[in-house]
Structure 1
Amino acid sequence: MDAPRTPAEALAFLARLNPSGIKLGLERVREALEALGHPERLAPVLHVAGTNGKGSTCAFAATALQAAGHRVGLYTSPHLVRVNERIRVDGVDISDADFGQAILDVLERYPSALSEPMTYFEFGTVVALWHFARVGVDVVVLETGLGGRLDATTASPARVTAITPVSFDHMEYLGNTLASIAGEKAGILRPGVPCVVSRQAPEALEAIAARAHAVGAPLRLEGRDFELAVSSSGRLSFHGASWRLDDLSLSLRGPHQRQNAAVALACLELLDAGGIHVTPEAARRGLATARWPGRLEEVGARPTLVLDGAHNPAGVEVLLASLEALYPGRRPHCVFGVVADKDRGPMMRALFPRCASVQLTPLDTPRSLAPETYLEEARSLCPDVSAWPDLDAALAAARARAGEAGVVLCTGSLFLVGMVRARVARAPAPQGVS
C-alpha cells in the first residue's frame, strides 16, 4: 500500500481500512505504540468497559474532568456521522487537518501499518493516543471498543477502570454466557488498579470478582460502596467513599443515566484520591452539562423525533423504560433498521408490541439487513408494519402516522442514528463505521 503524503490522503487511507474488521489481540497495537515512543504512558487514563452505558459514563467523567480544569482527551466508538467524533480534546472533535497529520506521523514512525494493515479500530486507537500525547492532555478517558481483555484500548495503562452493565452482545467474539462476556470485559482489570463496577447480574459479577481476585484489583461496587439515590421528592444524591453530593441534575435523559452518573462519580472520586484533582463541584457541573448524542436525543418537534442507539436486548429494555418515563401514554411510531449480524429477535419482541407502528428501513452499510427479509416476522409483533426502500421514505411514513402530537422513534442501530442525525443537522454524510 502506498504511503499517503498529505493529511487528505491520510484520511483516505484510514477510510480504506476494513471498517468491520475485528482482530482480537494486543500485539499489533503494542508494537505500534512502542515504535511511537509509548504515547499511551504520558497521561493518566480512565478506562471504561461494559455492554451498555459506557459511552455516557465516559461523557460524564470527561466533562467533569474538564470542569475541574484538566485538558481532557476522550476516545470513544463508534461515531454517528463523522469519524472525527471518536477523538476529542476538551469536548471538541479532532479537525481534519490534525487527524490527517496524526495519521501521517504514525505511519512515518510505524511503516509496518502500510504493509500489514491494522484494523480500523486498532489504527484509530493508536492515532488517538498519539494525538493526545502530541497536544499534551492532562488525562485520557478511553472507552473500549469490544470486550476488554484483547481490546486495542487495553494496551494503554490505566489509573482507574470501570465496568458498566454487562449483557448479551458480540457473542460471536465474547462468548454465549454472561459469565464469559463479563470475563472478557474484566480483562481491563490491572493489579492494584481500582475498578468501579455497576450493578450486574449475579453471574456477571461473579466473573468480574474472580478476575479481580486473580489479578489483585480492588473493586468498588454499586450498592455496596457507592450509590446514586432518588428521594421521594425526585432529587438525586450520591453517596460514595468520601463524597456526599445532593440535589444533582443530569443532562442526559432517562432513568438509566442515574447508574451511568453514579459510576462516573465513583471513578472521579478515585481519580481525585489518586492525585488527579477533581472537586465535588466540578463533578456536579460535569453531570449537569455532559452531552452524548444519539441516546434518547430529541432532534425534532411536531412530531417529536427521538433518536436512540439501542442495538441489543438490554439496550431496548432500558429504552422502553425511558420512553415510559419521558412520554407516558404515548406509543411511538418506530423507524427501525438493523445490521444482519445482530440478534434482532429479542429486540423486536420487546419493542414492536409497544409501538403504534413500525417502519423498516435499510441502512447505509453493507452489513444492513434488508427490511423485506424480516417483514413478516415484524408483522407478527405489531399490526402496522411496512418495509421501505430507504430512510427518507420510512421517516416520512412514520411522521405521517404520528401527526404533530405524536412521537417518532428511530432505533435499532447506531448506523440509523447517524443517518438521521446527518439529515436533521444537514451534517456531512456518514463516513467510515458507525
Structure 2
Amino acid sequence: MDAPRTPEDALRFFQALNPSGIKLGLERVKDALAALGHPERDYPALHVAGTNGKGSTCAFVARALEAAGHRVGLYTSPHLVRVNERIRVSGEDIPDDVFGQRILEVLERYPSALSDPMTYFEFGTVVALWHFSRERVDVAVLETGLGGRLDATTAANPVVTCVTPVSFDHMEYLGHTLSEIAWEKAGIFKFGVPVVLAQQEPEAEESLLRRAEQLAVPVKMERRDFGIDQEYNGKISYRGYGWGLEDLKISLRGPYQLQNAAVALACLAALRDRGVKVTPEAAREGLATARWPGRLEEVAQSPVIVVDGAHNPAGVAVLLEALDSLYAGRPLHLVFGVVADKDRGPMMQALFPLAASVHLTPLDTPRSLAPERYLAEARVLCPRVVAHASLEEALAGARADAVGRPDGVVLATGSLFLVGAVKRWVDRSLGATRQQQ
C-alpha cells in the first residue's frame, strides 16, 4: 500500500480501514506505540471499561477536569456523526487537518501499518494517544472499545482504572457468563493501580474483586465506599470516598445517570489521590455541565424525537426506567434498528409491548439485521409494526403516528449506528427546514 502524502489522503486511508473489523490483541498497538516513543507515558490517564455507562462517566470526569483548569484529552467510541468525535482535547473534536497530519506522523514513524494494517479501532487508538502527547494534555480519559484485557486502549498507562456496570454484550468475544465477561473487563487492571467499581451483579463483582486481589489493586466500590442519594425533596448528594457534596445538579437525563455521576466523582477522588488537582467546585461543575450526545437526547420537537444508544438488554432496562420518569403516559412511537450480533429478543420484549407503534429500520453498517428478518417476532409483541426499507421511511412513519396522537413521542433506539443516523437526518432535514423559515 502506498503511503498517503497529504492530510486529506491520510484521512481517506484511515476511513478505508474496516470500521467493523475486530482483532483482539495488543501486539500491533504496543509495537506502534514503541515506534512512536511511547506517547501514552507522557500524561496520567483514567481508563474506563464496563458494558453500560462508560461514555457518560467519561464525560462527567473530563468536564470536571476541564473545570479544574486541566488540558484534557478524551478518547471514546463509537462516534455518532463524525469520527472526529472520538478524539477530543479541551472539549473540542480533533479538526480534519490536524487529524490527517497526526495520521501522517504515525505512518512515518510506524510504516508497518501500511504493510500490515491495524484495525480501524487499533489505528484510531494509536492516533489518539499520539495526538494527546503532541497536544501536551495534562490528563487523558480513555474509554475501552469492546472489552478490556485485549482491547487496544489497554496498551495505555493509566494511574486510575474504572469498571462501570458489567452485563451481557459481545458474548462471542468476551464469554457467555457474567463472570467471564467481568474477567475480560478486569483486564484493564494494572498492578497496584487503584480501581473504582460501580455496583455490580454478584457474579461480576466476584470476578472483578478476584482479579484485583491478584494484582494488589486498591478497590473503591459503589455502595460500600461511596454513593449518590436522591432525597425525598429532589436534592442529590454524594457521600463517601473523597468528597461530601450536597445539592448537586446533574446535566445528563435519566435516573441511571446518578450511578454514573457517583462513579465519576469517585474516579475524580482517585485521580486527586494520584496527584491530579481537582477541587470540589470543579467536580460539582463537571456534573452540572457535562454533555454526552445520544443518551436520552431530544433532537427535535413537534413531535418530540428522542434518541438513545441502548443496544443491549441492560441498556434497555435503564432506558425504560428513564422513559417512565420523563415521558410517563405519552404514546411512544418506536424507531428500532439492531445489528445482527446483538441479543435483540430481550430488548424487543421489554420495549415493543409499551409502544403504540414500532417502525423497523435497516442500519448503515454491514452488520445490520434486515427488518424483514425479525418482523414476525416484532408483530407478536406490538399490534402495529411496520418494516421499512430506509431510515427516512421509518422516521416519516413514526412522526406521522406521533402527530396523530396527542403528546406522541418518537424514540429511536437499539443501536448507536441508528442514533448517529437519526442525528444526521435531523441536521440535514429539519435543519434545512429551519433555515428556510
- Once the two structures are superposed, the pairs formed by residues 19-418 of structure 1 within 5 Å of their partners are 19-403=19-403, 405-418=407-420
Any idea what SS the aligned residue of 2:247 has? strand
Which of residues 417, 424, 427 in structure 2 aligns to 1:425? 427
Quote how far apart the aligned CAs of 1:190 are: 1.1
Q: Is the 8 A contact 2:84 2:96 kept in 1?
A: yes
Structure 1 distance, partners of 2:73, 2:275, is 18
**How big is each residue's C-alpha offset from its partner over 1:19-72, in whole Å with a ceiling of 9 and x where there is no partner?**
111111111100000000000000000000000000000000000000000000
Equivalent position amino acid for 2:381 in 1: L
Q: Is the 8 A contact 2:171 2:181 kept in 1?
A: yes
Equivalent position amino acid for 1:330 in 2: R
Structure 1 residue aligned with 2:18? 18
Instruction: Choose between structure 1 and 2 for higher RCO, CA contacts under 8 A separated by at least 6 residues.
Output: 1
Q: Is the 8 A contact 2:238 2:244 kept in 1?
A: yes
Structure 1 residue aligned with 2:433? none
The alignment's TM-score, normalised by the length of structure 1, stands at 0.97
Structure 1 distance, partners of 2:150, 2:340, is 24
**How big is each residue's C-alpha offset from its partner over 1:291-336, in whole Å with a ceiling of 9 and x where there is no partner?**
0000000011111110001000000001001000111112310000
Q: Can you give the 5+ residue segments of structure 1 that lack an aligned partner in the other structure?
A: 428-434
Structure 1 distance, partners of 2:412, 2:157, is 37
Structure 2 distance, partners of 1:305, 1:18, is 31
Structure 2 distance, partners of 1:39, 1:380, is 54
Equivalent position amino acid for 2:234 in 1: G
Structure 2 residue aligned with 1:430? none
Structure 2 distance, partners of 1:370, 1:191, is 45
**How big is each residue's C-alpha offset from its partner over 1:379-410, in whole Å with a ceiling of 9 and x where there is no partner?**
00000100011111111111111116210000
Q: Is the 8 A contact 2:122 2:152 kept in 1?
A: yes
Quote how far apart the aligned CAs of 1:350 are: 0.9
Quote how far apart the aligned CAs of 1:242 are: 3.2
**How big is each residue's C-alpha offset from its partner over 1:196-232, in whole Å with a ceiling of 9 and x where there is no partner?**
0001000000000000001111110000100101111
Equivalent position amino acid for 2:11 in 1: L
Identical residues among aligned pairs (%): 70
Structure 2 distance, partners of 1:32, 1:53, is 29
Quote how far apart the aligned CAs of 1:240 are: 2.2
Instruction: Count how many residue pairs are aligned between Structure 1 and Structure 2.
Output: 427
Equivalent position amino acid for 2:243 in 1: W
Any idea what SS the aligned residue of 2:351 has? helix
**How big is each residue's C-alpha offset from its partner over 1:62-118, in whole Å with a ceiling of 9 and x where there is no partner?**
000000000000000000010000000011000000000000000000000000000
**How big is each residue's C-alpha offset from its partner over 1:108-146, in whole Å with a ceiling of 9 and x where there is no partner?**
000000000000000000000000000110000000001
Any idea what SS the aligned residue of 1:277 has? coil
Task: Give the superposed CA RMSD.
Answer: 0.9
Any idea what SS the aligned residue of 1:380 has? helix
**How big is each residue's C-alpha offset from its partner over 1:247-269, in whole Å with a ceiling of 9 and x where there is no partner?**
00111000000000000000001
Equivalent position amino acid for 1:103 in 2: I
Structure 2 distance, partners of 1:190, 1:108, is 31
Quote how far apart the aligned CAs of 1:426 are: 2.7
Equivalent position amino acid for 1:196 in 2: V
Quote how far apart the aligned CAs of 1:241 are: 2.1
